[in-house]
Structure 1
């Protein structure tokens, strides 16, 4: 093997020309495509990060809205409980008042009917007494007959 300086220079020149051609026609477009790809990936990563931030913000808003809805639902339930308790108390109070009123009316009706019955009984007893007295006077009977007549009329009054 021998060393030839001209062939070494020619090899270096050929290598530099090849390097220049590759840079111009191969590496330049290849690096351009790779740069575009890098930029696209970077944009997609930025878009994904923005989407994640927006999703987190949206999720926070939804969570806040859900919490607010729960608070409103709890308030509505509490209000309904208070209203139902108040209505129940009003209904019980009204029922007690109505029961007291009906009881008082019933007592008045009973007293009135009792007084009517006593009055009717007095009238009937008075009439029966007069009838007994007139029968006794009519017949002028002995003591035994008089007792039978009284018992007979008392039995009639008792059966009515």
Structure 2
């Protein structure tokens, strides 16, 4: 027995190892590991798996949100581009319509001015012809009057000049 006792206290004098204590500690350590595995490790792993699934779900949701945001941004950029093109087209159409309207107004104004000018020239021509006709009528009537007066009396050169001046004066007053 002594050899067994000697075996259980290996190097005891040096502060050595007690094999019995070590076996007992090993037994309780294994029991503790089994208890921790059954009561703590399982729930801890379950919580960790749930947390991992939650984080993975959040990452996936964030990735989907980012993809949707990118898609929405691209759609908005395309709509903005299309809206700018439409606005540019509307401005160009308005500019062309304004230019066409300007040309139409200028052409219409020129036609109206030509018509008014032509009408005024015709009116001037008519008035001129009327004035000439009136003057011819007056000259004829005055010639007749002068001839009548000349016939009525014989006139000297001086009297004749006076009659002509008087005639010119009457024609001037009638205008």
Q: TM-score, normalised by structure 1?
A: 0.90
Partner Cα separation in structure 2 for residue 94 and residue 7 of structure 1: 123
Structure 1, gaps ≥5 residues long = none
Shift of 1:2: 4.9
Residue 163 of structure 2 is aligned to residue 137 of structure 1: no
Shift of 1:84: 1.8
1:61 to 50, 70, 75: 75
Which of the two has higher C-alpha Rg? 2
* Aligned residue in 1 for 2:20: 6
Query: What are the Cα deviations for residues 64-106 of structure 1, in whole angstroms up to 9, with x where unaligned?
Result: 1111111122222222222222222222222212211121111
141-150 vs 114-123, which deviates more? 141-150
Count of residues in Structure 1 that have an aligned counterpart in Structure 2: 160
1:93 to 107, 110, 113: 107
Partner Cα separation in structure 1 for residue 97 and residue 44 of structure 2: 77
Q: TM-score, normalised by structure 2?
A: 0.83
Structure 2, gaps ≥5 residues long = 1-14
* Aligned residue in 2 for 1:50: 64
